[in-house]
Amino acid sequence: MNFSKRLQEWYFVNKRDLPWRSIQDPYFIWLSEVILQQTRVEQGMPYYYAFTKAFPTVQELAAAPQEQVLKLWQGLGYYSRARNLHTAAQQVGAMGGNFPKTYKELLSLKGVGDYTAAAIASFSYNEAVPVVDGNVYRVLSRIYGIATPINSTAGIKEFKALAVQLLDISNPGTHNQAIMEFGALHCKPANPFCETCPFNDQCVAHAQNRTTELPVKLKSKPVTHLYHHYLVVRTPLDNTLLVKRPQQGIWAGLYEFPYIEASKTLECQELQEQLKSQEWLSGVRFRESVTLQHTAVHKLSHRTIHATFWEINTLDEVNDSVHIKDAFEKPVHVLMDRYMKSQWNAYL
C-alpha cells in the first residue's frame, strides 16, 4: 500500500474533530494556521473563537485598530505575527476581500510563508502543494531515516522534494491534514507509538532504534541575557504609568511599565541610585523606598529576559499615568500580563 493511502486510512480513524477541519473558507483556515503556529490546538482554540467572533470577515479584521488585534493575540507571543496578520488582512481587503487563490499568490501576503501558503492552498482550494511543518519533518525523517538537519538549506530542499513525491495529488488537502495530524498524535516528538504504527514495517528510525535522534536540528545561536527592572508606579489615585514600545523589535507596539536595563539583577540600593537619572520621576515624591514585588524569567528564541518588578509608591500624581483598571485594557506582553493578573487581580 502506498504511503498516502496508509496515512489517510490512519487519519480517517484517528483524526480530531476541529472547528477549522470542516470548512474551506481561506480566511478561517488562515486564522487557524497562524494561531496554531504559536500554540497547541487546545490552547489555540479559544483564540480562534475570539478572532472569528470579533472579526467574522477579513474586512472586519482589516478595519480593526491594531491595538484590538494585539489585545486578542495577547498570550500567544511573537507579536510580529499578529501585526503581519493585520497587515495581510488589509492587503486582502484592498483586493475586495477576495483571498488569493493559488499557493504562489498567497505568498504575496505579509507573513505568509511556504507552510501557510501551502496549507491554505491545499485545504481551501485543493491545490497539489505539500505542507512541510515540524510534524512533517519528524515523520519523514524517521520513516525514511533522513539525518540532514531540518533547519539547513539542504534539509529544507530534501524534505520538500520528498513531500512533493509522496503527496496524493488527487486529494492534497486530506493528505496534508493527515500527515500533520499523524505527527501531532502518533509519531510524537517523545515516545511515539511505534508498536501500533501503520508504518512500523518500513520505518528506518524504528528498525534502527533512532527515534530519539531524528529529526536532526542544527543548534541555534547562543542566548543573550537581558535584565529588565520594571518600575511599577502606584500613585495616590491608583494610577500607574505605562509606555508603548517602539513599532520595531521585540514586543513591538505593546505596553509595559518603564524599565531600567542593567547588566545584572540590581539590589534595592543600586536601583534607588539609578532612579535619580529617570527624568520622568524628577520632582515626584516617594511615599517609601521602592519594594521588590515580583521576579520572572522569560525565554525568547535567542534571548532570556530576567525581569524584576519594583513598586514605587508616590505621594504625587505622575504625568501621563492611567488608572490601573484602564491598564488592563491595553495590549501588554506576557511578563506584564502575569504581573498585572497576579498583583492587581482586585481591579479585574
Binding test (CB under 6 A) with ligand SF4, winner from 37, 74, 211, 235: 211
140 touches ligand SF4 (CB under 6 A): no
Length of the chain (residues): 348
Closest CB 55 distance from ligand SF4, rounded Å: 38
Interaction of residue 216 with ligand SF4, rule CB under 6 A: no
Q: Which of the stretches 25-33, 39-47, 139-147, 253-261 binds ligand SF4 when contact is defined by CB under 6 A?
A: 139-147
Beta carbon nearer to ligand SF4, 71 or 186: 186
Euclidean distance between CA atoms 333 and 340, whole angstroms: 11
One of 187, 233, 281, 318 touching ligand SF4 (CB under 6 A): 187
Among 119-127, 151-159, 200-208, 264-272, the segment contacting ligand SF4 (CB under 6 A): 200-208
The dihedral sign for the CA sequence 82, 85, 89, 90:
positive
> What H or E segment, with its residue span, contains residue 322?
strand 322-323
Q: How far is the CB of 299 from ligand SF4 (least distance, A)?
A: 28
Among 11, 125, 199, 259, interactor with ligand SF4 by CB under 6 A: 199
Interface stretch with ligand SF4, choices 9-17, 138-146, 148-156, 266-274 (CB under 6 A): 138-146
**Would you tell me how many other CB atoms lie within 10 Å of the CB of residue 246?**
9
**Nearer residue to ligand SF4 within complex by CB, 195 or 279:** 195
Exactly one of 205, 242, 312, 332 binds ligand SF4 (CB under 6 A); that residue is 205
Task: Kindly identify the residues of this chain, within the stretch 50-69, that bind ligand SF4 according to CB under 6 A.
Answer: none
Tell whether residue 347 is a contact of ligand SF4 (CB under 6 A): no
Q: What is the DSSP string of 108-123?
A: TSTT--HHHHHHHHHH
How many CB atoms lie under 10 A from the CB of residue 118? 26
Q: Which residues are catalytic?
A: 33
Determine, following the binding rule CB under 6 A, whether residue 142 of this chain makes contact with ligand SF4. yes
Q: Answer left, alpha or beta for residue 286, where phi above 0 means left and psi between -120 and 50 means alpha.
A: beta
| Cell triple for 209 | 532504534
Query: DSSP labels for 218-273?
Result: ---PPPEEEEEEEEEEE-TTSEE--EEPPSSSTTTT-EE--EEEESSPPPHHHHHH
CA–CA separation, 77 and 254 (whole Å): 11
Output the CA–CA distances (angstroms, integers) from residue 122 to 18, 32, 113, 220, in the order listed: 17, 14, 14, 31
CB of 148 to ligand SF4, least distance (A): 17
Q: For binding to ligand SF4 (CB under 6 A), which residues are involved?
A: 139, 142-143, 186-187, 192-194, 197, 199-200, 203, 205-206, 211
